[in-house]
Amino acid sequence: MDETSDEPPTSAVFLDNCHFSQVVFNNVEKFYVPGGDVNCYYTLTESFVPRGKDWVGIFRVGWKTVRDFYTFMWAPLPSGTPSNKAVQQQIQFRAYYLPKDDEYYQFCYIDQDGTVRGASVPFQFRVDTEDDILVVTTEGEVEEIKLQNENLHKENEELKASCASLQKQNIDLQEELNKTQELQNSLETLRSNTEKLELELKSLKEENKRLKELDDCRGAELDQLKEQIKNVTFDKERLETRLKTALDHMDQLQIQVLIYEKEVESLSRTDHDKTEQLENLEEENRQLRTRTQQVKSSLSITVLGGARQQNRDLMEELQEQKRLFQILQAKKNEADEENQKLREENDKLLRHLPQTREVSAFSAVSEAQAPIPDPEVGGLLFGNPYCGEITWHSASIRKCPMCDEVFPEDIETSQYEAHVQSHLLECPLCSEAFEKSKKQVFDDHILCHGLE
């Protein structure tokens, strides 16, 4: 490749940053004849890996940077050789591009990063004239020359030893430089890792800040939830209290239904007793008619005037008995109607009782929220147990059949019976009872016992 096609990669790398031992130049002549091509031979060591932009330049001795080259050639890449073995390479410099002066020059191998990897011994471009000159000297000059040669030989040996020492130092320095390079690479790696860790730390700090803000939000939400739970618990306790009140009220209603059933049974017994009393009155009426016939027969024999008077009395008594029978019949009919109404109301209550159990919870809430309506006038005797709150102890389950007086629930039976008995006149002979307002009937009844 022509060295003038483009510029090689260079840098401001100085001699103390170079690695001269990685490329070794071989068979370097002391003198190269001007006007002829120059072949450069070099060896790539095992520790060096060539790249496509490496080049070999001719530098004047005393150069400072790789930019001070006189001419250069691209270094060819080795082919078919393992990278772990030394490789022999060759480059030919054309005579046209070579220096024309007799200064000292040297070959240098520069990689594509601008780093010197090897340098040759100095050489000159001039004709070697040592064989063409005949030197005539005296014997003393010969001795002096021999002495000088010996001194030069000693100096040469010393220089060789110094060169070997310098090469060893160079190798040691190269190893130290490699170690330094490795340490520098490690340092760069550590710096890169440190930067990554700093970025991660920054990210973690931001994440921690975000988590703290989220934790504060969660704390506020938790406080709201606690407040909601507290309100729900309060509502639950309030509803449980209402439910308990509703259940207690339902138990009271059930108790009142049982009491009402007992009242119905008592009224049924009272109705039965009145029916029996009416039957007894009818039987007594028949007996009175029979006795009247007998009295008429007996009085037909006695004095007509007294008989007529007695007959009129008996007729009046009979009329009074008929009127009493009609009154009792009307009371019996009223009692039957009232008993029928009570049975219908009792059936209605029994039908509504299961529904009351199913909606007890709803009733509790409804009673707490809705106003309580007043019971309708003219309804049940003891009020409708499903129309709001009823003060059951204010209603009576006992009512006097004579004067319709209502007694409280807690009245004793003996007091109630004494009150009812105060309205009656009891026959001392047959224990039959009559109302005090019907004293004439009672007297006629006693007279009938006297006629017997």
In tens, the pLDDT along 272-301 reads: 888 888 888 888 888 888 887 887 677 656
Task: Answer for the pair 115, 15: CB distance below 8 angstroms, yes or no.
Answer: no
In tens, the pLDDT along 306-342 reads: 656 766 887 888 888 888 888 888 888 888 888 888 8
Write down the pLDDT at residue 58: 96
408 belongs to a structural domain: no
Query: By C-alpha distance, which of 81, 84, 71, 7 is closest to 40?
Result: 71
Q: What is the mean pLDDT of residues 97-125?
A: 94
Q: What is the mean pLDDT of residues 10-32?
A: 74
Residue 443's alpha-carbon distances to 34, 295, 296, 316, 421, in angstroms, are: 187, 18, 20, 13, 18
Q: Could you give the CA distance from residue 24 to residue 7 in angstroms, rounded to a whole number? A: 24
User: In the beta sheet, which residues pair with residue 71?
Assistant: 58
Radius of gyration of the chain measured on its C-alpha atoms = 73
159 belongs to a structural domain: no
Q: Which of 176-190, 347-361, 409-423 has the lowest mean pLDDT?
A: 347-361
Q: Which of 62-71, 90-99, 420-429 has the lowest mean pLDDT?
A: 420-429
Q: Is 106 helix (H, G, I), strand (E, B) or coil?
A: strand
Write down the pLDDT at residue 63: 93
Q: Is 70 helix (H, G, I), strand (E, B) or coil?
A: strand
Q: What confidence tier does 227 reach under pLDDT thresholds 50, 70, 90?
A: very high
Q: What is the mean pLDDT of residues 346-358?
A: 68
The CATH number assigned to the domain holding 87 equals 2.60.40.2840
Range of the domain at 48: 23-125
44 belongs to a structural domain: yes
Write down the pLDDT at residue 24: 95
Q: Could you give the CA distance from residue 438 to residue 320 in angstroms, rounded to a whole number? A: 9
Q: Which of 202-216, 331-345, 403-417 has the lowest mean pLDDT?
A: 403-417
Predicted TM-score (pTM) of the model is 0.31
294 belongs to a structural domain: no
Total domains in the chain come to 1
Query: By C-alpha distance, which of 352, 348, 334, 363 is closest to 244?
Result: 363
User: For a pLDDT cut of 70, what percent of the chain falls above it?
Assistant: 79
153 belongs to a structural domain: no
Q: Phi-psi region for residue 378, left (φ > 0), alpha (ψ -120 to 50) or beta? A: left
In tens, the pLDDT along 32-90 reads: 999 899 999 999 998 889 999 999 999 999 999 999 999 999 999 988 766 678 899 99
355 belongs to a structural domain: no
77 belongs to a structural domain: yes
